[in-house]
């Protein structure tokens, strides 16, 4: 049997371009689906199921799994869980739902970046230009690498969950930087805990199913969680700045001409 020949660089480049195009089209389709199907259109009809916890749980579980495809935020789902199960049971269920709904995004981005990295390695071997061959997701992952390298994986994920930014953006950044699954799950639970508890409390105290999010509580909670994220990142930021100043100072001293006696 004759040995297989390596793929020409043009074919590898074309494969990488097609992969990137498909990824962009997929993201665009998900955003359009989320705009076409709002949480209020779907979740408002769950009120009649709340009397049957089993059926209610099946429907809510299905919505958590389908949420990434609809690009919905996680907070309205936690509010609905609170309405159906109350605070004591609703908080652990909602936290489990958050983990379950972000895992598909995390695994998909990690696999997609792994494929892009293999394509980039192949192109760099053929062209000898590793920097220009890096795809967009890999370059974005390099930025996230610096963030998680300074903060640590658990602290970095926790801070990104506390900060009032879209959940899927934080998930994609963690996946692109190679965060380990156990650190991602633990950081997600820790960072989403205050958001989830607040949403479940709002849902448990509502007379009907609401999809308006946290209402008046939202702004105060956003500020409090944002401050929490800043406090978590203050130590790593200080150490990073101190290390940079130390390097610059050492470089400045080494560049000075030596004085003879």
128-178: pLDDT as tens digits: 444 444 555 566 667 788 899 889 999 999 999 999 888 888 999 999 888
**Torsion angle of C-alpha atoms 195, 209, 42, 65, degrees rounded to 10:** 40
Domain that holds residue 233: 11-252
User: Does a structural domain hold residue 140?
Assistant: yes
User: Does a structural domain hold residue 245?
Assistant: yes
CB 99 within 8 A of CB 90: no
C-alpha–C-alpha distance, residues 19 and 115, integer Å: 9
Helices (H), 37-74: 39-43, 53-70
User: Does a structural domain hold residue 5?
Assistant: no
User: Does a structural domain hold residue 135?
Assistant: yes
User: Does a structural domain hold residue 257?
Assistant: no
C-alpha–C-alpha distance, residues 188 and 118, integer Å: 28
C-alpha–C-alpha distance, residues 197 and 202, integer Å: 9
The structural domain count of the chain equals 1
What is the predicted pLDDT for the residue at 70? 80
What is the predicted pLDDT for the residue at 138? 64
C-alpha–C-alpha distance, residues 117 and 138, integer Å: 7
C-alpha–C-alpha distance, residues 139 and 152, integer Å: 19
Q: What six digits make up the tokens of 11?
A: 């074919």
| Residues whose CB falls within 8 Å of the CB of residue 100, separated by 6 or more in sequence, listed in order | 61, 64, 65
Contacts 24+ apart (CB under 8 A), 93-96: 93/57, 94/196, 94/199, 94/200, 95/189, 95/192, 95/193, 95/196
Per run of 10 residues, the mean pLDDT along the chain (length 261 residues) is 49 49 48 52 69 86 87 87 91 95 91 64 51 56 84 94 90 91 96 94 76 69 89 85 67 58 47
What is the predicted pLDDT for the residue at 196? 94
User: Does a structural domain hold residue 71?
Assistant: yes
What is the predicted pLDDT for the residue at 143? 79
User: Does a structural domain hold residue 259?
Assistant: no
Burial state string for 32-45 with b = 16 or more CB within 10 A and e = fewer than 16: eebeeeebeebbee
User: Does a structural domain hold residue 224?
Assistant: yes
**Could you identify the residue written with the tokens 């605070």?**
87
C-alpha distances out from residue 45 to 16, 25, 75, 189, Å: 43, 31, 17, 28
CB 124 within 8 A of CB 9: no
């Amino acid at each position: 049997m004759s040995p297989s020949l390596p793929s020409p660089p043009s074919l590898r480049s074309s494969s990488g371009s097609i992969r990137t195009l498909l990824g962009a089209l997929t993201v665009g389709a998900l955003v359009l689906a989320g705009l076409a199907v709002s949480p209020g259109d779907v979740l408002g009809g769950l009120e009649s199921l709340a009397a049957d916890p089993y059926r209610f749980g099946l429907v809510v579980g299905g919505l958590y799994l389908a949420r990434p495809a609809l690009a919905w935020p996680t907070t309205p789902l936690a509010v609905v869980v609170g309405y159906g199960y109350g605070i004591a049971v609703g908080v652990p269920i909602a936290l489990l739902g958050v983990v379950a709904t972000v895992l598909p995004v995390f695994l998909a981005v990690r696999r997609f970046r792994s494929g892009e990295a293999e394509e980039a390695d192949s192109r760099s071997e053929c062209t000898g230009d590793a920097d220009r061959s890096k795809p967009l997701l890999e370059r974005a992952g390099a930025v996230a690498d610096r963030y998680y390298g300074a903060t640590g994986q658990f602290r970095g994920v926790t801070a990104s969950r506390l900060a009032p930014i879209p959940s899927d953006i934080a998930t994609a950044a963690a996946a692109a930087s190679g965060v380990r699954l156990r650190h991602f799950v633990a950081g997600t639970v820790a960072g989403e805990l205050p958001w989830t508890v607040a949403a479940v409390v709002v849902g448990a105290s509502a007379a009907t199913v609401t999809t308006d999010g946290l209402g008046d509580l939202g702004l105060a909670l956003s500020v409090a969680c944002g401050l929490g994220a800043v406090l978590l990142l203050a130590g790593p930021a200080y150490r990073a700045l101190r290390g940079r100043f130390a390097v610059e100072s050492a470089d400045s001293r080494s560049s000075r001409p030596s004085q003879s006696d």
